[in-house]
Amino acid sequence: MNGESRLSLHPLLADPEGLRARLRPVAGRHRKERIFYFLCLAVSGMAVLILAALFGAITLMGIATFSWKFLTAPPSPAAEESGMYPAIMGSVWVVLLAMLTALPLGTASAILLEEYRPRSPLMRRIQHIIELNITNLAGVPSVVYGILGLTVFVYMFPLFDGTGKPVREWGVVYYDQFYNEADTVLLVPVNTLDAPPVQPKTGMLAFDADFHPVNLQVIGEDDPWPEDPERARVTLRETDMGGRISEKTWYYFCLPFGRGVLAGALTLGLVILPTIIIVAREALRAVPDSLREGAFALGASRWQTIYRVTLPAALPGIMTGSILAMSRAIGEAAPLIMISGIVFLTNPPRHLMDDFTVMPLQIFNWAQRPQTDFHALAASGIIVLLAILLVFNSIALLIRQRYQKPLS
């Protein structure tokens, strides 16, 4: 009697064939799951193997030319004398300035969109349009940002003459440079870049090569050259013509920005700005509402809640996304070709308006040359670039692992 009651409670035990029929689809699903898992593992392993093969080939090609001299020397027409120090410093200038502009702006935009949500239907619709545009901008090709930066930052629309020449400048002095027959350099200051050429006159204030003030002595074209070395050092002929040069300080600034470091940095800032906004919004959204409600219950205002509770909790995610965005920026070449386009530069930037080049442009310059020695230099440059990217990604992982805590 008890056995019959058990069989009535468990009808599948009385029908083994039915039980096997029920379990057969489950076993098939598990088998398909294992096949899919091993397929994903094989595809991922193949991608890693291809990446390792490429990195190994680049390492074998570039390790012979990789040295401390390569990191500290400027480019040269001779491959054995070439380095990429100006490109490294140009990348540092541009990427750091891009982050200094994009990170505060992106974080503030994320706080505005996520923490100050509007209540009226019209403002909600406007915010939805803004969010849709930010998402679309994150997928725009970077060369489009290069064209935008060329229009906005280099030429500043039609506000000026459209040629990119400086209209207003601060921190610069212009000179007409003369070479006399005693092989000395004399500099005569002028007011602006477009000032008329200086006609040397006796008693005119000038400077020597060390910028010490001197008084010019001007003689005729057929007059004999003075024998006194001190007088000959400050003498010019009245027919001598000088060449216009400039002496710029570290705080030199001009409008429009021209094709300098600042224009390139602001363009790269536009490239990474949508990514930073999206990452910062996701980090803020991951903070539980219970933390905000607890702060409000204690009498904190909305800004105090954001500053003291929400932002510190979301900071690890924001910093991780920002470092990954910096990794993308340091490898960008297309927008900077539109802004700078310089692939051979022997000096690093000295101020915000100075000419610059970056590592991707320098690598492109070496890779397109027919000589195999320059191909080895390009491989060494790729090693440096990959090492910097690896450091940035490692820092991002360290921040995530060290500072990200369960929020409740």
Residues 132 and 57 in one domain: no
Looking at the domain assignment, is residue 118 inside a domain? yes
Q: Which of 27-41, 73-87, 144-158, 377-391 has the lowest mean pLDDT?
A: 27-41
Residues 152 and 180 in one domain: no
- What is the structure's pLDDT at 1? 44
Residues 53 and 118 in one domain: no
Looking at the domain assignment, is residue 105 inside a domain? yes
Looking at the domain assignment, is residue 408 inside a domain? no
Residues 104 and 151 in one domain: yes
Specify whether the backbone of 19 is left (phi greater than 0), alpha (psi in -120 to 50) or beta. alpha
Report which DSSP code applies to 157: T
Domain, as residue range, for 218? 168-250
Domain boundary among 188, 217, 250: 250
Domain boundary among 223, 250, 277: 250
**Distance separating alpha carbons of residues 87 and 176, to the nearest angstrom:** 31
**Distance separating alpha carbons of residues 344 and 74, to the nearest angstrom:** 9
Looking at the domain assignment, is residue 290 inside a domain? yes
Residues 220 and 245 in one domain: yes
Residues 148 and 284 in one domain: yes
8 Å CB contact between 123 and 113: no
Looking at the domain assignment, is residue 313 inside a domain? yes
Residues 276 and 382 in one domain: yes
pTM: 0.81
Question: Looking at residues 389-407, what average pLDDT do you find?
Answer: 75
Residues 49 and 173 in one domain: no
Residues 281 and 389 in one domain: yes
Q: How many distinct structural domains can be found in the chain?
A: 3
- What is the structure's pLDDT at 321? 86
8 Å CB contact between 243 and 73: no
Residues 221 and 263 in one domain: no
Instruction: Provide the pLDDT confidence category of residue 28 given band limits of 50, 70 and 90.
Output: low
- Render pLDDT for 318-370 as a digit per residue (tens, 0 to 9): 888 888 888 888 988 888 888 887 778 888 999 999 999 999 999 988 988 88
Nearest CA among 367, 345, 372 for reference residue 356: 345
Buried b (16+ CB within 10 A) or exposed e, 294-330: ebeeeebeeeebbeebbbebbbbbbbbbbbbbbbbbb
Domain boundary among 250, 276, 296: 250
Question: Tokens in use for 187?
Answer: 């500099």
**Distance separating alpha carbons of residues 99 and 268, to the nearest angstrom:** 9
Looking at the domain assignment, is residue 392 inside a domain? yes
Residues 308 and 345 in one domain: yes
Residues 101 and 193 in one domain: no
- What is the structure's pLDDT at 12? 52
Q: At what angle do helices 311-330 and 85-115 cross, to 10 degrees?
A: 140
Specify whether the backbone of 231 is left (phi greater than 0), alpha (psi in -120 to 50) or beta. alpha
